[in-house]
Amino acid sequence: MSLQRNQDMSHQPLYLQIKEALKKQILDGDYAPFERMPSESQLMKSFDVSRITVRQSLRDLHAEGLIFTSQGKGTFASKPKAMQDVQHLEGLSEAMTPKGYETSARLLSIREVKPSKDVQENLNINGKEGAIEVVRVRYLNREPISVDTSYFPIAVGQKLFARDLSGDIFPLLENELRVPLGRADVSLEARSADSDTAKLLDINVGSPIMWVQRLTHDSSGKPVDYEYLAFRGDAYKYRFQIERDPSRNSGFNEVIK
Amino acid sequence: MSLQRNQDMSHQPLYLQIKEALKKQILDGDYAPFERMPSESQLMKSFDVSRITVRQSLRDLHAEGLIFTSQGKGTFASKPKAMQDVQHLEGLSEAMTPKGYETSARLLSIREVKPSKDVQENLNINGKEGAIEVVRVRYLNREPISVDTSYFPIAVGQKLFARDLSGDIFPLLENELRVPLGRADVSLEARSADSDTAKLLDINVGSPIMWVQRLTHDSSGKPVDYEYLAFRGDAYKYRFQIERDPSRNSGFNEVIK
């Protein structure tokens, strides 16, 4: 979002003018994805401003996802984010392998837990029943992309202890445990990474993450898998298509639920 | 996500132990949504720790969206986020009014601009044609919820100058401009708010925002409206349902695109 782009910006703070100038160059393709941006000193020189001003501009560009920094190597125009199409319910490997990505998972823990209220409500179990919790870090091209915390009812989850959990769990449920999957309820929100998540994803505490809650049902509608997925905001994009409700197109203005 | 919940935490940093204890109380419903949390001083006393430790715990809870702060009034267990179902293509008012929310929009600018490369590609126009840019702040129950920057081809956009833009643009396009709407391509990612956006949304610079790019086509498939929507991460959730591709449920393990 740029309110000032193409407007006379001379009344704006310097750092904003510089940010907008660089942003325009990135959006216009003058800097291609992965291309190195000028150094702080070069920018200070070309814009004739202080380091603090240059840093403020870069911080904003960084916040907008237009540049990224590689430790010791400099600042680069953004790499394109990995996009997952979510028209159908798919695991990370199912979705990304056909696009040429290498995916894997590192298992951090699998154990029986006393489920939180949220997990109880979603899996439709009570607090005494317990649930199986699986915590994994998922990797895309060997970079950590998400921390997945999944909860299963005991009957299903117990069978996961002896399984290979380095890939998607969905096909494992379907093909090995013979649990046919149906509908999933998904919610997405933007959050800041807490210390645990930041460490596992190799990002700074407070960096933006996409927080996904996904409740997957079996084909009969029974909940079988409730997950919290914390995706690195700088590396991942969800994409889907939606249709306008056809009944709206006939000139009706009422809201149909 | 909590790796340590239910585990022996005595070897963990104090602030993490306190954070996890409070988190558990919130998730278990001991603190209800909108309920006031104990003050920093009360927490220092009950846990017998320093203010700096308490603040670190609260900062993490805040980052996870479990608490929110009201200036001068204290800290509260999180208010539930507004949820928008995105099964169908709807404007904010269309989606949220039936749920009992009051929505409105404040127009910041409408003007002809030289479109950026991204806008050109999405609207399928060239740089010489120009585009109409509409920038608005959207409100939900009188709180700013998103900054919407929308681009229209000149032919459509020109007609918006004389219109009331304090509500949704979709029904306006359909009912007044007679542009029937069809499919939209939507992508979602988590970002940090830059200074402009943060100011308009009344949040801190760097706070998480949900960054939405939405390209809406008319019913013949021609692009008519390309938007950047920046939603407050602490106030808004996207929700949808997806189905497992039925061909997966028959025991096949192959990936079908």
Taking alpha carbons only, the member of A11, A56, A26 closest to residue B195 is A56
Cβ burial of A116 (10 Å; 0-12, 13-18, 19+) is: buried
Q: Count CA atoms closer than 13 A to B60's CA, side-chain side.
A: 22
CB atoms within 10 A of CB B161: 12
> Residues of B with CB below 8 A from A171's CB?
248, 253
Cα–Cα distance measured from residue A58 to residue A54, given in angstroms and rounded to the nearest whole number: 6
Domain ranges for chain B = 14-77, 82-239
Cα–Cα distance measured from residue A18 to residue A60, given in angstroms and rounded to the nearest whole number: 10
Q: Residue A112 in 3-state DSSP?
A: strand
* Band (A6; pLDDT cuts 50, 70, 90): very low
At B248 the pLDDT is 55
User: At residue A133, does pLDDT exceed 90?
Assistant: yes
Per-chain mean pLDDT for chain A: 85
Element (H, E) at B170: helix B170-171
Q: Which of A28, A88, A249 sits opposite B180 (nearest CB)?
A: A249
Cα–Cα distance measured from residue A121 to residue A52, given in angstroms and rounded to the nearest whole number: 50
User: At residue B101, does pLDDT exceed 90?
Assistant: no
Average pLDDT on A202-226 reads 93
* Band (A250; pLDDT cuts 50, 70, 90): very low
Q: Which of A88, A219, A228 sits opposite B242 (nearest CB)?
A: A88
Distances (CA, A) of A252 to A59, A256, B84, B95, B184: 46, 10, 21, 15, 20
Contact map slice: A 231-250 vs B, CB within 8 A: 231, 233, 236-245, 248-249
pLDDT, tens digit, 9 for 90 and up, residues B30-55: 888 788 999 999 999 999 999 999 99
Average pLDDT on B175-203 reads 91
Taking alpha carbons only, the member of A149, A145, A151 closest to residue A209 is A145
At B247 the pLDDT is 60
At A247 the pLDDT is 60
At A254 the pLDDT is 30
Element (H, E) at B137: strand B131-140
The residue written with tokens 């998607």 in the block is A168
At A8 the pLDDT is 55
Average pLDDT on A170-195 reads 91
Average pLDDT on A181-210 reads 91
> Residues of B with CB below 8 A from A187's CB?
83, 237-240
DSSP A200-253: HHTS-TT-EEEEEEEEEEETTS-EEEEEEEEEETTTEEEEEEEE--GGGGGS--
Do the Cβ atoms of B174 and A248 come within 8 Å? yes
Q: Which of B5, B187, B206 sits opposite A206 (nearest CB)?
A: B206
At A62 the pLDDT is 81
Average pLDDT on B208-236 reads 93
Average pLDDT on B100-120 reads 91
User: What number is the ipTM of this complex?
Assistant: 0.71
User: At residue A257, does pLDDT exceed 50?
Assistant: no
CB atoms within 10 A of CB A169: 23
The residue written with tokens 């079988």 in the block is A224
* Band (A24; pLDDT cuts 50, 70, 90): confident
SS3 content of chain A, % helix, strand, coil (to 5): 30, 35, 35
Is B65:A189 a contact under the CB 8 Å cutoff? yes
At B255 the pLDDT is 30
Residue B256 in tokens = 């079908």
Do the Cβ atoms of B242 and A210 come within 8 Å? no
CATH fold for domain A14-77: Arc Repressor Mutant, subunit A (1.10.10)
Element (H, E) at B75: strand B74-77
pLDDT, tens digit, 9 for 90 and up, residues B237-252: 888 888 887 565 433 3
Tell me, what amino acid is at A200? L
Residue of chain B nearest A127, judged by CA positions: B28
Cα–Cα distance measured from residue A232 to residue A120, given in angstroms and rounded to the nearest whole number: 27
For B24-36, b/e burial (b = at least 16 CB within 10 A) is: eebbeeebeeeee
> Residues of B with CB below 8 A from A97's CB?
255
* Band (A213; pLDDT cuts 50, 70, 90): very high
User: At residue A232, does pLDDT exceed 50?
Assistant: yes
At B41 the pLDDT is 93
Contacts of B157 (CB under 8 A, 6+ apart): B112, B131, B132, B134, B151
Per-chain mean pLDDT for chain B: 85
Strands (E), A71-207: 74-77, 82-85, 103-113, 131-140, 143-153, 181-192
Q: Residue B95 in 3-state DSSP?
A: helix
pLDDT, tens digit, 9 for 90 and up, residues B71-99: 778 898 887 777 777 778 888 888 888 88
Average pLDDT on A135-139 reads 96
CB atoms within 10 A of CB B87: 12
Residue B99 in tokens = 């749920």
Q: Is A99 at the interface with chain B, CB within 8 A?
A: no
Shortest distance between the Cα of A78 and any Cα of chain B, in A, equals 13
* Band (A9; pLDDT cuts 50, 70, 90): low
Is B240:A186 a contact under the CB 8 Å cutoff? yes
pLDDT, tens digit, 9 for 90 and up, residues B145-158: 999 999 999 999 99
State which CATH number among 3.40.1410.10, 3.30.450.40, 1.10.287.70, 3.90.25.10 fits the domain covering A82-239: 3.40.1410.10
Cα–Cα distance measured from residue B243 to residue A89, given in angstroms and rounded to the nearest whole number: 6
